[in-house]
Structure 1
Amino acid sequence: MSSDATGIHKLEDVVDLGKFLQARRARVNPDEVGLPADSRRRVPGLRREELALLAGVSVDYYTRLEQGRAKRPSDQVLDAVARALRLDETTRAHLHLLAGNTRRSPVQERTGVRPSLQTMLAAIDNFPALIMNHRQDVLASNRLARLLYGGFGWDLESGPNFVRLLFDEDSREFFPDWGAMCSHETVAQLRKMSALFPEDAEMTALIGELSVAHRDFAEMWARAEVKDCNIGWVRFDHPMVGLLQLYKDQFRVADGSGQMLVTLTAAPGTDGYEKLALLGAGA
């Protein structure tokens, strides 16, 4: 794997505080924080000295923070930096996690799905549902989920990685909102999970692989967006039923495994509900 192409070649790069700060600093426009525009700027975003001024810390200290030479910065300093970077609550918490100032909840990946979850999944028969792990590998799915994604040629029973599938070239045809869904949801959630599972070599390999293979992924990852669970409307352009709009919910399994139940629903009487019924009946 080429580190020149991605900047990702070992575990530390995925959860590196300095790289995260640099990426977020590049996203802050000077005029957003009341600084004058300067046509001589050679890089996007704020300069280090500007960020330090806004955060109320010395330029030397902030430089050491980005270079990984400032050990265990205080909560007060991190909160000040977060405010200067205009981070939301989820991203601020991610910053504290990267700095080692937040105690990580015990996490341990499970290789399989608990029988009780399998039973619940099998009992859901009127809307698609699936179980994924923190890397977004599909661990289990119900009949309607397999029918829904099977229309795109995706075999959920083979345990594919959902992020890999989304960045396949053909996926753009299946999701009218592909760009927003990948950038602001899928990649942002993957970044959050990478900090919760910092020793996961498979996660690091996945991020590196996608960064090399897909320029879109590399650019989205470089934005350093962080998001918790992805909920909201998802639109599909399905070959069997046409445009289909479903509401996605994610339910985190409370056992530290990183697994989550994902459901795609539509209210009775809606177009989405009728099309799901049609999809199920046509199998």
Structure 2
Amino acid sequence: MMDAMDQKLDTFEARRREFAAFLRSRRERLRPADVGLPDGFRRRTPGLRREELAMLAGVGTTWYTWLEQGRDIRPSPQVLNALANALRLDEAERQHLFTLNSRQSPQLSSAPEVVDEPLRRMLDNLTHQPAYVLGRRWDVLVWNRAADLLFGGYDRLGPDERNTMHRLFADDFHRSLLVDWEAVARVSLAMFRADSARYAGDPDFERLIALLQLESPEFRAWWPRHEVVAPLTGVKRLNHPLKGLMSFEHTGLALMTQPDMKLIVYTPLDEHDTNRKLAELLT
């Protein structure tokens, strides 16, 4: 019982640290001219000063400084709105700010993730659309034959290696598949950051993030930037080792029965004769 309580306290502390770092990163990206303030002279730090941001948000400088220091302070929704407005946050960043300050108990990823049989059968019946189910940590839990042939054998990978972020940043084969790797990696990282805010401090997430920082210089450089975006759909271009260039429209669907899981579906496009190439790959 005490272990669970300690873990919950550690999670709250991790959220405060994440919130503090996010505030600081958003403040430092703002220039005085962005908010109607003069640049002035002898500005030694990037972006706005803490006292300038506090003035814009209508809070005390000392109190705001405590927020950036990660102290145990619970800002009200009204104050969070004021901070979001002062920081010029977009909708995804604003949601991230509120998620990091949720008054609900932090979520932990200790419970096993089980994919229901109806979902498995639906996945298998998507014969001409590569698809898989992502768990809360973006682990690929189940996949269909088309996804296995397109992205490489998932069953030959270990649990961490089947993680989408690990494949994106630390798997040379998967990285070589993506024609627009850097653009995809940056957006995916920002979406993962937004998703992972609910699990700040969770040991499984912390271990994955530490592993990626160790194995990928890009992840190590981009993670501290605290960029977040809302979930996006779009087109991914692949350079498959057997079939060459292929284009897919990818869509993420939330599951009502399992809110922490997502169904990811890749629909082949006419571009690069992808439909024919996928059909050949499947046969």
| TM-score past 0.5 threshold | yes
CA distance in 2, matches of 1:156, 1:233: 26
Matches within 5 A, 1:27-42: 27-38=29-40, 40-42=42-44
> Which fold has the larger relative contact order, with Cα–Cα distance below 8 Å and residues 6 or more apart in sequence?
1
The AA in structure 2 aligned to 1:117 is L
Quickly say closer, same or farther: Cα 1:105–1:252, change in 2 above 3 A: farther
Counterpart of 1:146?
148
How far the C-alpha of 1:279 sits from its partner, in A, is 2.1
The AA in structure 2 aligned to 1:191 is R
Out of 154, 163, 173, the position equivalent to 1:161 is 163
Matched, 1:58 2:60: yes
Matches within 5 A, 1:73-152: 73-101=75-103, 109-150=111-152
Unaligned runs of at least 5 residues, structure 1: 1-9
Q: TM-score when scaled to structure 2?
A: 0.84
How far the C-alpha of 1:270 sits from its partner, in A, is 7.3
How far the C-alpha of 1:104 sits from its partner, in A, is 7.4
Q: TM-score when scaled to structure 1?
A: 0.84
The AA in structure 1 aligned to 2:81 is D
Q: Which moved more, 1:96-105 or 1:207-216?
A: 96-105
CA distance in 1, matches of 2:214, 2:270: 43
Counterpart of 2:179?
176
Quickly say closer, same or farther: Cα 1:218–1:13, change in 2 above 3 A: farther
How far the C-alpha of 1:38 sits from its partner, in A, is 5.0
Unaligned runs of at least 5 residues, structure 2: 1-9
Q: Contact 1:23 / 1:223 at 8 angstroms: preserved in 2?
A: yes
- Provide the aligned C-alpha RMSD in A: 2.7
How far the C-alpha of 1:121 sits from its partner, in A, is 0.5
Q: Contact 1:106 / 1:256 at 8 angstroms: preserved in 2?
A: no
CA distance in 1, matches of 2:234, 2:218: 22
How far the C-alpha of 1:44 sits from its partner, in A, is 2.2
The count of corresponding residues between Structure 1 and Structure 2 is 268
How far the C-alpha of 1:255 sits from its partner, in A, is 3.2
Q: Could you give the per-residue CA deviations for residues 13-70 of structure 1, whole angstroms, max 9, x where no partner exists?
A: 4662111211222222333223333563333222211211222222122112222336
CA distance in 2, matches of 1:188, 1:245: 23
The AA in structure 1 aligned to 2:154 is D
Q: Contact 1:105 / 1:256 at 8 angstroms: preserved in 2?
A: no
Matched, 1:209 2:211: yes
Quickly say closer, same or farther: Cα 1:138–1:14, change in 2 above 3 A: farther
CA distance in 1, matches of 2:109, 2:205: 14
